Amino acid sequence: KNQVEQSPQSLIILERKNCTLQCNYTVSPFSNLRWYKQDTGRGPVSLTIMTFSENTKSNGRYTATLDADTKQSSLHITASQLSDSASYICVVSEGDYKLSFGAGTTVTVRA
């Protein structure tokens, strides 16, 4: 069973609207959590990274939150643009080489 579950699987939003993606994990021990953006036909690119002691991290219009107690993270996209259309992947690290990847949320932004 995947230790990182993301929801929704996909969503469609209108340009300039906001959206929030969810990530729940059971990975333990926990070292850090990353959100990656993967454009179609490309490899994933890191957006944010948070360690156990951090509960929010921003990168432009992307804001990630982390609740290490409930093992939940979210990625909020503000004022979406067409270029935000991509798959967003939650990745949890146990501290060694082992990364646990979520299946991703596919976001489609429409004009």
Partner 1 sequence: DVKVTQSSRYLVKRTGEKVFLECVQDMDHENMFWYRQDPGLGLRLIYFSYDVKMKEKGDIPEGYSVSREKKERFSLILESASTNQTSMYLCASSGARARDYQETQYFGPGTRLLVL
Q: Which of residues 48-87 bind partner 1 (CB under 8 A)?
A: 49
Of the candidates 11, 13, 22, 31, which one interacts with partner 1 according to CB under 8 A? 31
User: Taking contact as CB under 8 A, which single stretch among the options 17-25, 52-60, 65-73, 93-101 is the one that binds partner 1?
Assistant: 93-101
Judged by beta carbon, residue 54 or residue 101, the one nearer partner 1 is 101
Query: Rounded to whole angstroms, how far apart are CA atoms 52 and 94?
Result: 11
The beta-carbon contacts of 27-31 under 8 Å, at least 24 apart in sequence, are 27/3, 27/71, 27/92, 27/93, 27/94, 27/100, 28/94, 29/94, 29/95, 30/68, 30/71, 30/92, 30/93, 30/94, 31/93, 31/94, 31/95
Of the candidates 22, 32, 74, 78, which one interacts with partner 1 according to CB under 8 A? 32
How many residues form the binding site for partner 1 (CB under 8 A)? 24
Q: Which residues bind partner 1 (CB under 8 A)?
A: 2, 4, 31-32, 34, 41-46, 49, 89, 93, 95-104
